[in-house]
């Protein structure tokens, strides 16, 4: 009796030590780890970094796309690169839904994937490439370097039907936005920091004309209105035409805290941007981030890491896609 109970307590002790050692190795409950490809493709992260830099030199806006991709992929149930899948005969893809309006540069992500595949065929997932390109894109536009875990695997299905459930619309209430982010473990300062991504890039007039016509939204800063009207001269813009306003007129190519200064001055373009500065739950953080770029970056880094770890596929789940826009063919090994 005594000996069997002591051997089971030894077993328990070993289990506890094993669990502890995993924690100290940085293994998260998500199953992701730092430098997952250390042995299987040691040069993976460097290749991605180089490709992101090269692409940024040629097309600055690729960096904005990598950042927006992270939100649109990870917030829709899982960071599984389902965002990148093409529509099929039977289903329409996430990237072709209305919430994905204006998303661009997907073909350049394939260039990154191809560069990685040349060195390590079939090893590095599109979801990790999506996440790491966002991390390196953030650095390109002057943001912080954020250490992020890897080991995600790729989903096989695009979930256009779920996009509206998970991704807030441009005019959604702050309550609903807070709820959607808190379901991913992202708190209020985390949400406020992530929306700082709107300090780069553009917004198409189709998402803005309801604030300009038939009459101008009185909440808009009157000094900003002439510029918006000039860019969005058409009350019913053709969705295919490239009419847009830059998100941050001051420093449109830099990820910085100017976004918070803008929204406090009622120069936020989207309704959510405007509300963020005026809702009593978010306003205090908006003010702090407007004052301190460090404070913004600190919460931004934390929240990007949380977003990037939302519900990934790991281990034997999913697959490593050969091409990011297509699920692998089943039952054919080569
Ligand atoms: C309440 C949440 C959010 C809403 C409703 C929202 C909505 C939008 C809309 C409508 C656009 C304009 C797209 C266009 O017209 O081309 C946009 C652009 C953008 N969003 Fe968001 N967004 C949200 C959160 C985020 C987050 C969390 C990130 C990243 C962390 C992000 C990154 C971006 C970027 C980088 C752009 C510019 C893209 C470009 O210029 O190509 N957004 N967003
Ligand atoms: C938000 O805007 C969309 C059009 O983009 C519109 O269909 C919807 O009714 C608006 N929702 C609210 C709550 O105003």
> Distance from first CA to last CA of the chain, Å, rounded?
57
203 CB near ligand 1 (under 6 Å): yes
Residue 239: what pLDDT?
80
Atom of ligand 1 nearest to the CA of 105: 41
- Please identify every stretch of the chain with a pLDDT value under 50, giving residue numbers as ranges: 1-5, 20-27, 332-334
CATH superfamily of 174-307: Peroxidase, domain 2 (1.10.420.10)
Provide DSSP, 124-144.
S-HHHHHHHHHHHHHHHTT--
Residue 7: what pLDDT?
56
Atom of ligand 1 nearest to the CA of 206: 15
Q: Which pTM does this prediction carry? A: 0.91
Top CATH class of 44-166 equals mainly alpha
Q: How far, in Å, CA of 48 to CA of 302, rounded?
A: 22
Same fold, 44-166 and 174-307: no
Pocket test for ligand 1, best of 55, 71, 204 (most atoms within 8 A of CB): 71
267 CB near ligand 1 (under 6 Å): no
Tell me the angle at which helices 62-74 and 106-119 cross, rounded to the nearest 10 degrees: 90
Where do the domains of the chain lie? 44-166, 174-307
The contacts of residue 147 (CB under 8 Å, 6+ apart) are 34, 305
Residue 12: what pLDDT?
57
Residue 8: what pLDDT?
58
């Amino acid at each position: 009796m005594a000996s069997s109970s002591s051997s089971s307590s030894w077993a328990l002790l070993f289990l506890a030590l094993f669990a502890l050692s995993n924690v100290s190795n940085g293994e998260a409950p998500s199953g992701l780890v730092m430098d997952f490809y250390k042995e299987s493709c040691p040069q993976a992260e460097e290749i991605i970094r180089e490709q992101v830099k090269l692409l940024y030199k040629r097309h600055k806006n690729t960096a904005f796309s990598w950042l927006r991709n992270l939100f649109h992929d990870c917030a829709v149930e899982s960071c599984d690169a389902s965002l990148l899948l093409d529509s099929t005969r039977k289903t329409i893809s996430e990237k072709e839904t209305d919430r994905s309006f204006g998303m661009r540069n997907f073909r350049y992500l394939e260039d990154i994937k191809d560069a990685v595949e040349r060195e390590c065929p079939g090893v590095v997932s599109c979801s990790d490439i999506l996440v790491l390109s966002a991390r390196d894109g953030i650095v390109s536009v002057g943001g912080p370097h954020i250490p992020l875990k890897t080991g995600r695997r790729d989903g096989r299905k695009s979930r256009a039907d779920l996009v509206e459930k998970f991704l807030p619309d441009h005019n959604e209430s702050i309550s609903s936005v807070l709820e959607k982010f808190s379901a991913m473990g992202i708190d209020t300062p985390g949400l406020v920091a992530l929306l700082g991504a709107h300090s780069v890039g553009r917004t198409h007039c189709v998402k803005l004309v309801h604030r300009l016509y038939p009459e101008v939204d009185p909440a808009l800063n009157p000094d900003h209105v002439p510029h918006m009207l000039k860019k969005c001269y058409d009350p019913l813009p053709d969705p295919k035409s490239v009419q847009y306003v830059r998100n941050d007129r001051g420093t449109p190519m830099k990820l910085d805290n100017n976004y918070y200064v803008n929204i406090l001055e009622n120069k936020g373009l989207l309704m959510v941007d405007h509300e963020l500065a005026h809702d009593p739950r978010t306003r205090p953080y908006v003010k702090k981030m407007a004052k301190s770029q460090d404070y913004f970056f600190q919460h931004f880094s934390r929240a990007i890491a949380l977003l990037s770890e939302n519900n990934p596929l790991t281990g034997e789940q999913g697959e490593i896609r050969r091409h990011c826009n297509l699920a692998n063919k089943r039952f054919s090994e080569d």
